Structure 1
Amino acid sequence: MKIFYLGFSLIFILLAPVYVFGYQNVTSADTNEVIRLNKEAYKARLSEATQTVRIADKAIKLARKINYPNGIAEAYRIKGIGLGYLYDQVKAFDCYNEALSYFKSVGNKNGTAKVYNNIGNLYRDNDYETALSYFKTGKSLAVSLKDTALLASLNLNIGNVFYRKKQYFDAIAQFAMARKMFEQVHDDANLISCLQNTGVTYYSMGQYDKAKEMLLKANEGAKKFEMNATISSIDLALADVYIAQRKFEDAEKIIREGSSYSLNKKVDYDYKYTTYQLEYKRKNYEKALSYLTNLYQLDSVDYHNYVSNQITILKDKNERDVINKEKALLEEQRKNSNYMFWGALLVAALSIGVIGLLVFNVKRKAETNQRLTELNAEVSRQKDNLDRINHHLEEIIDERTKDLQIKNKKLSEYSSYLSHQIRGPIATLKGLMNLEKEGLVDKQECIKMMNKCVSEIDDKIIDMSDMLHDPDRAGF
């Protein structure tokens, strides 16, 4: 066995110079092309992420062909960035782990730090502490390398985590450091992102004027460099600021602009929600309700939870794969057995995960069905109550109508009676008054007859009052 290893080592030493010489001859013509493709792919990430993935795949293929590990690693890293902008975190995580494996194999600390930064971004919205752990690991490497551009990016991302933890003053401090560094290295794209994040943080602090100032600067820069996805994101934040300031016309204008730059479903969902908030603040409740109904149908909370679970599963898978690859380099004879062992373990883990997801989905579906049944029963009960109330109201209305008809009839009779019965004595009184004025009747006799007329009128009035208040009397 010792002789075998000694012979293997001797062959390796003899062939290594030949391999290196051949490698240099092959890559001298193509490494620059790989580098160019990677730069082109990275540049396209903000405006056309699908282009980033396509060009990165081309770079991977060429780098593999010429056996250029750093080029392969960087192409995988940039592909992961493109997939991240396309919200495909699962595949992005897989690409980052491939990049990490290649960078470590050639001792590239700068590339390793960049990948840690990228992986931290995947956890940024779901697991703050894990994200900070990756960012700080990357930052320690960047400090040792004195890489200002990488330090700026890591400070920006650490600030983003502080923002999500609602540590706004810490976030502002991190963004300020990042902005100075980005200005030093003339990284306009990340400087725009830094301005945007600073504006969003000021908005969360209620400092709307500062937020608007930062976001407008970011918007101007993004348009200058045709960063479509970034413009859409900045306009979304600006719309929130304008709504908070009750500048509804400005908000509507910026929403239209931002929507035209939207490149994915997640941003479309966010714009629909912002439009709902705008209409609600305007008190256009009918429009707000229609947007809210549409948002409810598009809700993707379950999808994000599913993606988070898949990231965790794939993280474990890739860590095991990296361990297997490292062991395979040192223990070639045990490679097959190790792959079989870890493969079986992976299948078991995935099987358990799939079973868990199925059980979870079944339980959730049962709970949803039960809730829908309860809601349907409640709706039926409310409908029955409304039917009973409506029926009772109809009966009350019928009774009131009949009562009014009876009263109207009595009033009509009263009017007729008044016309025929009261008018006669009053005419007699008027005649007596005229006779007395002309001296044609004795004054005492006139007074006597007038008293008789008044008594007759009083009797008629009493009789009418009795008839109006006595429901048993049919008429006058």
Structure 2
Amino acid sequence: MRNACSILFLLLSVSFTAYASAQRDVTASDTNQVISLNKNGYDNRLTHPQETVADAEKALKIAISIGYTKGIAEAYRIKGIGEYYLNKPDSALNRYFDALTQYEKLADQRGKAKVYNNIGNLYQMVDYDKALEYFKKAKDIAEKLRDKQLIASLYLNIGNIYNRKNMYNSALSYYEKSYELFTQLKDPVQLVQCLQDLGVIHYFLHNYTKAKDLLLEANARAKAMDMNVNVATINMTLTDIYLAESNFNEAEKYIKEGKTYATIIHNEKDIYDYKHSAYELESKRKNYEKALNILSELYKADSSGYKTNVSTRLNFLQQEQSRIAKAAEEEKNAEISRVIFWSVTVAAGLLLIVIVLLVGSVRRKATTNSQLQELNGEISRQKDNLDRINHHLEEIIDERTKDLQVKNKKLSEYSSYLSHQIRGPIATLKGLMNLEKEGLVDQLECIAMMDKCVSEIDEKIIEMSDMLHDPGKPGF
């Protein structure tokens, strides 16, 4: 029986170990899958942003199922990036805030900085100062972490803000710092973005030759890496340069190519911009009929596009206001909760102090009552003793009184007896003395009789003394 139990225990241990190992393998496999999907999604952002969104959604589903918080946060961020490149800023903003919530739970500063950078990119569309605020928050964290990759990206984005604010020299300074860092990091994708942004700045500064060199190099690198988003936007600036130089054939070439890439990535804004460039090209070529047809299409697109853009911007701002209001409400509720908590804590503390004081008072009162009872008992005992002593004293006094009364009576009797017994011999002596004086009695006879009287008096006195010292002796 004991051997059978041992074998059963061994089998159960092996089964549990195998199950636990399998569970760890599944979790590790799922985690790696989430990381891989998020990475693929991020890599596709400039080529096929719709695939970026799809990969992020898959990663999010798996990460939620296994409770992988970091994977959840990054999936939200990657999905927001995909929606940003698909020109859906309101959806992107929600995803970024979802990501920020998860990163805050993890206290992941690098993750928060990346999300701040992404939110800053969104605000480039509606509020430059707000965008700069988010970029600077991200930059502060990146500098503390010494994250060169993130710092270089932030230089690029801050340069974009100064570009949009027509502060071209400031923008150029940030672009050059970004290009230098990405060159050190050997990041080919971001170097394409730097070349593009530098080309745009030189275009605005009317350095067309420098701008074309930078943009053509960026165009070639972007095509080599299938960076469709960048090709579409690079060609837009090249088109503007060739139109400014009246090089219509090159302008037409880049319009067609750029429009193709914009269609691949489903970017309606870029498609519209290429139609507008086509209108400018035909106008400059003096193909007015073709230009008029394009203008008619643009008018229709402008009408619906304006409504869409206004709606998008309003939704974006409304969501941001809702988020701010919600955050303020949560902070208010948290403050109320803190006040209630400390109020209850203080009240509980005071109540505890009152209870302690009451308990102490009751204990002191009980101790005092006990002491008083003991004192009362002692007083009662002492009173009983005094009563007994008083009673005993009364008895003694009664006895002494009776004794004194007896003695007084005896003294009185003694006095009376002594007076009676002694007066006779004394009277005799007095008589003898008178007789002797008168010569009526013989002197010797008188002396003999006087001696007899004195002896008689002495006997009476001795007899009285014996009677006084021995009250029981008869005689009186």
TM-score (norm 2): 0.62
The superposition leaves residues 327-356 of structure 1 with CA deviations (integer Å, 9 ceiling, x where unpaired) of 99999999xxxxxxxxxxxxxxxxxxxxxx
Q: Deviations over 1:5-46 (max 9, x none)?
A: xxxxxxxxxxxxxxxx99988743422221111101101111
1:308 partner amino acid: R
For the pair 1:317 / 2:322, whether they are aligned, the reply is yes
The number of residues matched between the two structures is 314
The answer for the alignment partner of 2:202 in structure 1 is 202
Residue 437 of structure 2 corresponds to none
In structure 1, the residue matched to 2:244 is 244
8 A contact 1:27–1:68 mirrored in 2: no
* 1:284 to 1:237, Cα distance in 2 relative to 1, 3 A: same
Alpha-carbon shift at residue 317 of structure 1 (Å):
2.6
| Bigger shift: residues 319-328 or 252-261 | 319-328
TM superposition shift of 1:243 = 0.7
SS of structure 2 residue aligned to 1:55: helix
CA distance in 1, matches of 2:338, 2:116: 32
**Which one-letter code corresponds to 2:310 in the other structure?**
N
Residue 75 of structure 2 corresponds to 75
Give, in angstroms, the shift of residue 292 of structure 1: 1.5
After TM superposition, give the deviation of residue 223 of structure 1 in Å.
0.6
- Relative to structure 1, the CA distance from residue 187 to residue 275 in structure 2 (aligned partners, 3 Å threshold; closer, same or farther) is same
For 2:139 and 2:287, how far apart are their aligned partners in 1?
49
Of residues 315-324 and 265-274 in structure 1, the stretch that sits farther from structure 2 once superposed is 315-324
Q: Deviations over 1:389-432 (max 9, x none)?
A: xxxxxxxxxxxxxxxxxxxxxxxxxxxxxxxxxxxxxxxxxxxx
Task: Select between 27-36 and 265-274 the one with higher mean Cα deviation.
Answer: 27-36
1:172 — aligned with what?
172
Alignment map for 1:138-153 (pairs within 5 Å) = 138-153=138-153
- The residue type paired with residue 85 of structure 1 is Y
Q: Which residue number in structure 2 is paired with residue 281 of structure 1?
A: 284
Describe the shift of the 1:221–1:326 C-alpha distance in structure 2 as closer, same or farther (beyond 3 A). farther
After TM superposition, list the pairs within 5 Å mapping 1:333-348 onto structure 2: none
Secondary structure of the residue aligned to 1:28 is helix
Cα deviation, residue 321, structure 1: 4.9
* Residues 204-242 of structure 1, C-alpha deviations (whole Å, 9 max, x = no match): 121111110111011011011011221111111111111
Verify: 1:272 aligned to 2:275, yes or no: yes
User: What is residue 307 of structure 1 aligned with on the other side?
Assistant: 312
Match of 1:163 in 2: 163
Give the letter aligned to residue 306 of structure 1: S
Q: Write out per-residue CA displacement over residues 28-85 of structure 1, whole angstroms, 9 at most, x where no aligned residue.
A: 3422221111101101111111110011011111111111111111110010000001
Query: Residues of 2 paired with 1:78 and 1:185: CA distance?
Result: 22
Query: Which of the pair has more CA radius of gyration?
Result: 2
Counterpart Cα distance in 1 of 2:30 and 2:338: 35
Q: Which amino acid in the other structure matches residue 236 of structure 2? A: L
Give the secondary-structure state (helix, strand or coil) at the position aligned to 1:45: coil
Residues 226-263 of structure 1: CA distance to partner in whole angstroms, max 9, x if unpaired? 11221111111111111111111111111121122113
User: Which blocks of at least 5 consecutive residues in structure 2 are unaligned?
Assistant: 1-20, 340-476
Alpha-carbon separation, structure 1, partners of 2:168 and 2:138: 23
Percent identity between matched residues is 43
CA distance 1:223–1:109, change in 2 (3 Å):
same
1:166 partner SS = coil
- Contact 1:23–1:66 (CA under 8 A) maintained in structure 2: no
What's the secondary structure of 1:47's corresponding residue? coil
CA offsets per residue over residues 357-415 of structure 1, 9 Å max, x none? xxxxxxxxxxxxxxxxxxxxxxxxxxxxxxxxxxxxxxxxxxxxxxxxxxxxxxxxxxx
What are the equivalent positions in structure 2 for 1:54-203 lying under 5 Å apart?
A: 54-203=54-203
Query: How far apart, CA to CA, are the structure 2 residues paired with 1:39 and 1:325?
Result: 34
For residues 44 and 334 of structure 2, the distance between their equivalents in structure 1, rounded to whole angstroms, comes to 36
Return the alpha-carbon distance in structure 1 between the equivalents of residues 108 and 271 of structure 2. Answer: 39
Distance (Å, rounded) in 1 between the aligned partners of 2:317 and 2:44: 28
In the alignment, the residues of structure 2 paired with residue 305 and residue 73 of structure 1 have an alpha-carbon distance, to the nearest angstrom, of 30
Q: What does residue 291 of structure 1 align with?
A: 294
Over 3 Å counting, the alpha-carbon distance change for 1:330 and 1:26 in structure 2 is farther
By how many angstroms is 1:323 displaced?
Answer: 6.5
Q: Aligned partners of 2:296, 2:177: CA distance in 1, in Å? A: 43
Distance 2:173 2:148 in 1: 17
In the other structure, the counterpart of 1:430 is none
Long gaps (5+) in structure 1: 1-20, 335-476
One-letter identity of the residue aligned with 2:186: H
Supply the distance in 2 between the matched residues of 1:23 and 1:145 (Cα, whole angstroms).
35
Give me the whole-angstrom Cα distance separating, in 2, the residues matched to 1:158 and 1:24. 44
Pair 66,35 (structure 1): closer, same or farther in 2 beyond 3 Å: same
Query: Which letter does structure 2 place at the counterpart of 1:276?
Result: Y
Q: Distance in 2 between matches of 1:168 and 1:302?
A: 31
Paired with 2:143 and 2:160, the residues of 1 have a C-alpha distance of 20
Higher mean alpha-carbon deviation, 225-234 vs 323-332, is at 323-332
Partners of 1:76 and 1:98 within 8 A in 2: yes
RMSD of aligned Cα (Å): 2.6
**Measured at CA, do residues 51 and 333 of structure 1 come closer, stay the same or move farther in structure 2, by a change above 3 Å?**
farther
Alignment of 1:32 onto 2:32 = yes
Following TM superposition, by how much is the alpha carbon of 1:303 offset from its aligned partner in structure 2, in angstroms?
2.1
Alpha-carbon distance between aligned partners in 2 of 1:72 and 1:326, rounded to the nearest angstrom: 25
Closer/same/farther in 2, CA of residues 234 and 321 from structure 1, 3 Å limit = same
How far off is 1:320 after superposition?
4.8
**Per-residue deviation, 1:93:** 0.4
Provide the C-alpha distance between the structure 1 equivalents of 2:110 and 2:23, rounded to a whole number of angstroms: 23
- Cα deviation for residue 297 of structure 1 reads 0.9
C-alpha displacement of 1:291: 1.3
Distance 1:42 1:225, change over 3 A: same
C-alpha distance in structure 1 between counterparts of 2:67 and 2:338, whole Å: 24
Distance change >3 Å, CA 111–CA 155, structure 1 → 2? same
Aligned 8 A contact 1:26 1:66 in 2: no
* One-letter identity of the residue aligned with 2:62: L
Matched with 1:349 is: none
The CA distance in 1 between the partners of 2:296 and 2:280, in whole Å, is 13
